[in-house]
A and B are shown apart, each in its own frame.
Chain A
Amino acid sequence: MSAPSSGRALHGHPSALPGAETTATVLGWLTTVDHKRIGILYGVTGFAFFLLGGLEALLIRLQLAVPHNTVVSAHAFNALFTMHGTTMIFLAIMPFNAAFFNYMVPLLIGARDVAFPRLNALSYWIFLAGGLLLNASLLAGTPPDVGWFGYANLTSKHYAPGPGVDFWILSLQILGVSSVIAAINFIVTILNMRAPGMTMMRMPVFVWMTLVVQFLIALAFPPITVGLIFLLFDRFFGTRFYDVAAGADLHLWQHLFWIFGHPEVYILILPAFGIVSEVLPTFAKKPLFGAPVVIYSGVLIGFFGFGVWSHHMFATGMGPVADSAFSIATMLIAIPTGVKIFNWLATLWGGTIRTTTALHFAVGLVGLFTIGGLSGIMHASPPVDLQQTDSYFVVAHLHYVLIGGSLFGLFAGAYYWWPKMTGRLLGERLGRLQFWVIFAGFNLAFFPQHYLGALGMPRRIYTYPADVGWTAGNFASTVGAFGIGVGVLLFIVNAWQTLRRGAPAPADPWDGRTLEWRTSSPPPAHDFDAIPPVYGRDSFWREKYGPRRGAPATESHAPLHVPAPSHWPIMVALGMGIAAVGALTHVSFVVVGVLWTVWSLFRLALEHHRAQAHADQTGGLGLDHRKMAMWVFLGSECFFFGTLVATYLAYKGRSVVGPAPHEILNIPVTTISTFDLLMSSLLMVLALAAVQRGDNRQARLWLLGTAVFGLIFLGFQAYEFTEFVHQGFTMQRNLFSSTFFVLTGLHGTHVAIGVLWLLSLWVLARRGRLGVGDAVKVEIAGLYWHFVDVVWIAIFTLVYLIP
């Protein structure tokens, strides 16, 4: 298993199992790097968590079915809605989306896999670790019970003393890592691995929506990562980020959470929009109406999605100017969303509509999301929202967009792509029954909740009195919820039956429009025998029926490379899990976990380094995959450090006790360390130049030099920190100390990681294993190093110099 290989021999014919690798063993699944298998892993795992989240929902609804009910205690109820929300968002919808990203995106763009197959597997296993960790809190009897958005300071050690919140923080952080790695992977894949002739505007809309979602993930997760780091440090180390007595602003948590949280809802819905944009044209037998407009709308929604977050905070007292600004921004976002809906309607208009189950769910989404979107527009008006927020009205809204929107879209995708993934068709009659049961159950469960909200029922209450008029609505809602449950069961029955005895599916069961229908159902391990020709948007349709735009690029017959399986991804995830468990139990496990993770990452990287086939990773844009990935990562890091710096500046001057920055920061000494870091960047570019011209001796010299300069910087930082602690200026001292130590400490951690990286490259060079062909690996280390330098430039000015 550990012997590196450049790929595996190909077996040209598809076998009965999806993903069609020859090893259908447990080990095969544990070490797979095939996007199709990883997609299935996400789908099945997500479904298991979905059932768990659904059970939690049914318990919630049972408790609320009648007033003063005693099905569960108040404590249990509060844990139930916390777990339900967190599970459905992070462990159900997002993995379902990931399942489709993984399986379908390479097929849709005519690629054979994603840009980084082993990182792809890594994302899955890290996701699994995070999901298991969150649910381990149930086994430990201490689930989090602070709501899925965990507002500070209810989440402080004082008000939530048990480990529940710690489970929640750690699993969310782990899940975030998984998502961001996958996001970088897919961005590079989509930008760099499209089949020749597939320009951006010829990409299927599902791929466009995926691309927008990946950018949202890469940029929106860092702020919540930072917010959670603050909470973690407050709880574990006594810092003051959310300590009101120390001068903290409790709105900070809400801002950081919702700067993530709002893009997150677009992360949840845009893939469903993408699926609908594929399903409707296929079953109406005409192209997506206004495809470019639908694409631009998606991009605009993603971009403006970063500008509306405080519409979740209209009741918090931000003042009329902020309220108005976010209100208008939120209303503006409704426009591109509405435009999509109209374009979908126009797609159906004039078509010849085959009412398959997939179409039922897609049409269901259009109708139900319209309702959810309209209640959202109501919330966009702060005066109205002051009555609706934190009531069942908003619970109705969010379920209309998340179930009526995301889940219905995912079911549409399931019925649509099931034949491609499994080689069998899902039963249509049972499918249509399932649709109507879920549709009816869903509307019965959630439409009455608009009324409950209008009648003043707050959310997150475990019981209610009998004399407020909420009884009938709650009872109806509970019945409807069980209807949804029945619908989900019907899907399981359908899937189970057809996997064994379903009608076998041809390559193109729906007379499809896009490239995935061009290969067998399921596809072979290498996806396409030859990279498909691209005739325009809806390329496969044009191939079948015309018109064709120009001659396609010559079919590529380059040797097929199927990446070898690897067990290092699961090892890395295991290490992270151990470290997280250690944080909850004993620090020795943290040490073991971190070492295990670092070791496994090294082995994963070496595996890549040794595989000669990986020498050339240049894609369609003429850019190396790894270089592009690093730049995307640095974009994400802009958000990470931007949030840290913004918090530092926001809290500046708010400390209740001293010292203040100018009383303790040593500018002359820090100037020297700044100069040292700047010079290290010079050494780094010299190292790269040396590698690029094959000068191994100079390469070793400058690589080591850069690492040494980095160590000197860390030495200065260690000196500074120890001096401060001796003077009584510890992390816990005041707001300034908290923000200062966390900001510069995290920066120092980045430097330390860079030093390790450079030393590894130096070791490789010493062993003669860093040749001219490896220059790009030194280049991306350099990009990381320079970025860390650039962040220090900002920190030096904003923290040390600015008065």
Chain B
Amino acid sequence: MRAARRPGFHGALAVTLLLGGCAWDAPMSTVVPRSDFARDILHVYGIVTWVAVGIALVVGGALAWVIVRFRDRPGAPRLPAQTRGHTLLEISWTIAPALVLLVIAIPTIHVIFRTQAAPPRDALEITVRGHQWWWEFRYPTFEVVTANELHVPAGRPVALTLQGPDVIHSFWVPQLGGKRDVVPGRLNRLTFTADTPGEYRGQCAEFCGVSHAHMGMRVIVDAPDAFARWVAAQKAESAELAGLAAEGKAIFAASACVGCHTIRGVSSGALGPDLTTFGSRHTLAAGLLPTTVENVTAWLKNPPALKPGAKMPALGLTDDQARAVATYLIGLK
């Protein structure tokens, strides 16, 4: 099921086209494939790019040459030959593009069916639910629920089922493949096998309201044993708390927080992200900021100030209270 590897091809493509190969290794780059899905796509992407660039150079070159060669200058015929057409030429330049398109069409159809085939039976099933403006991830097999940071094992097929309780969103992690819309009322599927452990960035790609720009996500591809450890950590009992963290937990449990958020053993709100292992995530508020005490504190004090339209209101916490809760949340690993 894996695409034929053509490293030389992609290398040549990167260098030739892109005037600086390193520039393409940006976090959201669409031409740095880290899964079978992404590789399959890049295979076709390379073909269409070569074709497009080639045609552009030929046509552009011909255009420039024609203007220069036949411009009106002393000695040019006052009335050039009034050629009306040439049937053979018309036929040729109708058939030629058709053949070129065939070169694009065949791998296209092939990859469409391959990448949309039903996932293998050993695929890890994950349900993705897109909300305004955060991502919910559920692992039915493990009974784990988390948000905004998706962990997947390397080398094992992952079958995402995309659902939406509110508006249309789009799940896009470029280095792991193309995007797929989250459409309320429908179940869409996205299947891929990530090959390289690492952290990958994604973002919602269908305009979904005020903070569409702030609906990011992180995908952590773990080596199989690291993934198993992560799953275990998700289900583990929380440690006993002391000091500021215990204070923060008390404030949390007594505040409106419990109406929206779930922390296993503490609260069971279902309107906002599950925070049971919030501290283990590298970013908060759907990839908005790195998870540090300062950032979490600022967020807790006034979410809409950082993320316009955020449904989480400012709860009127004092600086100290916010810091306490932040310490508690960051400790939730």
A and B in direct contact, judged by CB atoms within 8 A: yes
A→B interface (CB under 8 Å): 73-75, 78, 146-147, 151, 153-154, 159, 244, 247-251, 284-287, 289-293, 315-317, 319-320, 323-324, 327-328, 331-332, 334-335, 338-339, 341-343, 345-346, 348-355, 363, 366-367, 370-371, 374-375, 377-378, 380-391, 453-464, 467-470, 545
Choose among B48, B77, B98 the residue that contacts A378 (Cβ–Cβ < 8 A).
Answer: B48
Choose among A355, A377, A461 the residue that contacts B52 (Cβ–Cβ < 8 A).
Answer: A377
Chain A CB within 10 A, most for which of B31, B56, B166, B207: B207
Q: Which of B119-162 contact A (CB under 8 A)?
A: 132, 162
Choose among B66, B104, B204, B308 the residue that contacts A331 (Cβ–Cβ < 8 A).
Answer: B104
Instruction: Indicate if the CB atoms of A456 and B185 lie closer than 8 Å.
Output: no
Given contacts A316-B181, A390-B205, A391-B205, contact A352 B213 (CB under 8 A): no
Q: How far is the CB of A458 from chain B (nearest CB, A)?
A: 5
Asked if B178 is at the interface of the complex by the 8 Å CB criterion, the answer is yes
Q: Among the listed stretches B22-30, B243-251, B325-333, which one makes contact with chain A, having 4 or more residues with CB under 8 Å of it?
A: B22-30
Contacts A352-B70, A456-B27 supplied; 8 other A-B pairs, CB < 8 Å: A317-B183, A327-B109, A328-B105, A377-B48, A384-B48, A391-B30, A460-B207, A460-B212
Residue of B nearest to A460 (CB): B207
Instruction: Indicate if the CB atoms of B178 and A154 lie closer than 8 Å.
Output: no
Instruction: Indicate if the CB atoms of A331 and B101 lie closer than 8 Å.
Output: yes
Residue of B nearest to A155 (CB): B167
> Which A residues are CB-close (under 8 A) to B167?
151, 153-154, 159
Asked if B292 is at the interface of the complex by the 8 Å CB criterion, the answer is no
Q: How far is the CB of B4 from chain A (nearest CB, A)?
A: 15
Chain A CB within 10 A, most for which of B80, B86, B115, B309: B80
Q: Which of B204-251 contact A (CB under 8 A)?
A: 204-213
Asked if B34 is at the interface of the complex by the 8 Å CB criterion, the answer is no
> Which A residues are CB-close (under 8 A) to B178?
315, 383, 385-387
For the complex of A and B, the 6 pairs showing the least CB-CB separation, nearest first, are A386-B178, A456-B28, A469-B26, A461-B213, A317-B188, A244-B185
Given contacts A250-B183, A320-B112, A468-B27, contact A345 B66 (CB under 8 A): yes
> Which B residues are CB-close (under 8 A) to A370?
55-56, 59-60, 63
Choose among B24, B30, B116 the residue that contacts A320 (Cβ–Cβ < 8 A).
Answer: B116
Q: Which of B290-319 contact A (CB under 8 A)?
A: 308-309
Asked if B10 is at the interface of the complex by the 8 Å CB criterion, the answer is no
Q: List 24 A-B contacts (CB under 8 A).
A: A75-B308, A154-B167, A159-B132, A250-B185, A290-B90, A315-B178, A323-B112, A345-B59, A346-B83, A348-B63, A352-B78, A367-B60, A367-B63, A375-B52, A378-B48, A381-B48, A382-B112, A383-B44, A383-B45, A384-B45, A391-B30, A456-B29, A462-B213, A469-B29
> Which B residues are CB-close (under 8 A) to A384?
41, 44-45, 48, 108
Residue of B nearest to A454 (CB): B30
> Which B residues are CB-close (under 8 A) to A354?
72
> Which A residues are CB-close (under 8 A) to B23?
469
Instruction: Indicate if the CB atoms of A383 and B111 lie closer than 8 Å.
Output: yes
Size of the B side of the interface (Cβ < 8 Å), in residues, is 87
Asked if B89 is at the interface of the complex by the 8 Å CB criterion, the answer is yes
Choose among B67, B109, B208 the residue that contacts A363 (Cβ–Cβ < 8 A).
Answer: B67
Instruction: Indicate if the CB atoms of B52 and A374 lie closer than 8 Å.
Output: yes
Choose among A292, A331, A456 the residue that contacts B26 (Cβ–Cβ < 8 A).
Answer: A456
CA distance A76 to B303 in the complex (A): 19
Choose among B63, B85, B101 the residue that contacts A289 (Cβ–Cβ < 8 A).
Answer: B85
Instruction: Indicate if the CB atoms of A348 and B67 lie closer than 8 Å.
Output: yes
Given contacts A317-B183, A469-B26, contact A292 B85 (CB under 8 A): yes
Instruction: Indicate if the CB atoms of B209 and A159 lie closer than 8 Å.
Output: yes
CA distance A545 to B94 in the complex (A): 32
Instruction: Indicate if the CB atoms of B66 and A348 lie closer than 8 Å.
Output: yes
> Which A residues are CB-close (under 8 A) to B213?
74, 460-464
> Which B residues are CB-close (under 8 A) to A378?
45, 48-49, 52
Choose among A78, A350, A381 the residue that contacts B104 (Cβ–Cβ < 8 A).
Answer: A381
Instruction: Indicate if the CB atoms of A456 and B174 lie closer than 8 Å.
Output: yes
Residue of B nearest to A285 (CB): B80
Choose among A74, A335, A380, A390 the residue that contacts B211 (Cβ–Cβ < 8 A).
Answer: A74
